[in-house]
Structure 1
């Protein structure tokens, strides 16, 4: 039976967006894979196409160790940025999307690796359902900030000085949530972020803050699953400058 978009669930909206994004993948590509429930739908769809022989000659850079293990289990060949420093296309999700197509990411805990993969990518395609669209960043979710455990209380005080209400992220046992890099995450409620670039600069400038969930000017395209159908959001912009190194290049201090 045919179902209209108005009749389908949020999960189905995400799936439609994921399937659309995966159509952008071509044989021979290095593909970046993001964390999160919506991005994982794209990973599963890519695996289905590979299993059916409708896609081939793909290698993937996963943004977390857990995702890398899962992708391999699904039959997707994985690689690293050391072997492939430039990624052709990354498909990822987002926790919140502003009208300027800036993002808050990091609810899944992989914000540092997701940002590293994003800045290495020629194109960054974000897939979301319509509930992730908001009038301004900070309206719907806090900004995750990844910090070194060393001296973390001083970073917490700094975040509070910027106006954040902070919450140290915990795991299911009540212990501090530890990232793949061995760092902590503090979720920061700044309220509505009127000046995301200024906030990002203040966070970037602080030693001890490793990464934050503000993704400014990273996006090539956003695929939004809505009850009225798919919406494709894009802002014309020059390609991001990425450092393209030969894997054998050595850099001397």
Structure 2
């Protein structure tokens, strides 16, 4: 019996990949659901359903997957726009604001996703929340020398910060940019737009995982009566 959650993630990834058209520049996000989207875009290229696609990866993971599935890659230096970006999220609120950064790739994701004319978020239903910060901490990418003052400043904003530690690695998580990640628990985020700006104004912070006013479409995978389905949110 196949794992229904896995099948659901595949279906959402497939639905997003179907929205890619020939000639597009595509932002390739990071994470388990987006990985399926990258796989299915590669499949469509191989079958000749679409052609002349180039991808802009948001992480080393996305880059490796794109090469594996035969998607040609480009860089932001070589292009002046992105047609569509496909990326996951850790939380999505009713206003389509997001918390991202579970994979510590949120800085590059934010650059690519905000540039895209159309930003499609792919999630399973477990990521939908009434209020941001309900289940997930806000990841903040910080340059290493600034960790102590940044953590004090985050506490002053009402957060409970902790340095993200590696799994199967001694010491902290290091991002693709060579920085550290602080995960901040906020008991309440009444104004995500304001919080995003306040955190990014702390000297030493590179970027944080609150994404506001950037999402066009949310594709949600659900399991109904044991069957995976996808709905647009």
2:18 is aligned to 23
2:171 is aligned to 175
Deviates more, 1:117-126 or 1:162-171: 162-171
Contact persistence 1:8–1:227 (CA under 8 A):
no
For the residues of structure 2 that align with 1:204 and 1:109, how far apart are their CA atoms?
Answer: 16
Gaps of 5+ in 1: 1-6, 234-253
- Pairwise CA distance, 1:150: 1.6
Q: Deviations over 1:42-76 (max 9, x none)?
A: 00111111222222210000001232122112211
| TM-score when normalising by structure 1 | 0.86
Count of matched residue positions in the alignment of Structure 1 and Structure 2: 227
2:159 maps to 1:189: no
1:230 is aligned to 230
For the residues of structure 2 that align with 1:102 and 1:90, how far apart are their CA atoms?
Answer: 16
Q: Secondary structure at the match of 2:21?
A: coil
2:121 is aligned to 126
1:246 is aligned to none
Q: Which of residues 28, 33, 44 is equivalent to 2:28?
A: 33
Q: Secondary structure at the match of 1:192?
A: coil
For the residues of structure 1 that align with 2:12 and 2:99, how far apart are their CA atoms?
Answer: 19
For the residues of structure 1 that align with 2:79 and 2:60, how far apart are their CA atoms?
Answer: 17
| TM-score when normalising by structure 2 | 0.93
1:4 is aligned to none
For the residues of structure 1 that align with 2:114 and 2:133, how far apart are their CA atoms?
Answer: 22
Contact persistence 2:12–2:123 (CA under 8 A):
yes
For the residues of structure 2 that align with 1:120 and 1:197, how far apart are their CA atoms?
Answer: 18
Gaps of 5+ in 2: none
Q: Secondary structure at the match of 2:145?
A: coil
For the residues of structure 2 that align with 1:193 and 1:12, how far apart are their CA atoms?
Answer: 33
For the residues of structure 2 that align with 1:29 and 1:21, how far apart are their CA atoms?
Answer: 14
For the residues of structure 1 that align with 2:22 and 2:179, how far apart are their CA atoms?
Answer: 36
Name the CA shift for 1:231/1:70 in 2 (closer, same or farther; >3 Å): closer
1:83 is aligned to 78
For the residues of structure 1 that align with 2:63 and 2:108, how far apart are their CA atoms?
Answer: 12
Contact persistence 1:47–1:76 (CA under 8 A):
yes
Contact persistence 1:85–1:120 (CA under 8 A):
no
Aligned Cα RMSD in Å?
Answer: 1.4
- Pairwise CA distance, 1:174: 2.5
- Pairwise CA distance, 1:8: 7.1
- Within 5 Å, give how 1:195-214 maps onto structure 2: 195-214=191-210
- Pairwise CA distance, 1:182: 1.1
Deviates more, 1:50-59 or 1:90-99: 50-59
- Within 5 Å, give how 1:34-113 maps onto structure 2: 34-113=29-108
Deviates more, 1:161-170 or 1:216-225: 161-170
- Pairwise CA distance, 1:192: 3.1
For the residues of structure 2 that align with 1:28 and 1:217, how far apart are their CA atoms?
Answer: 26
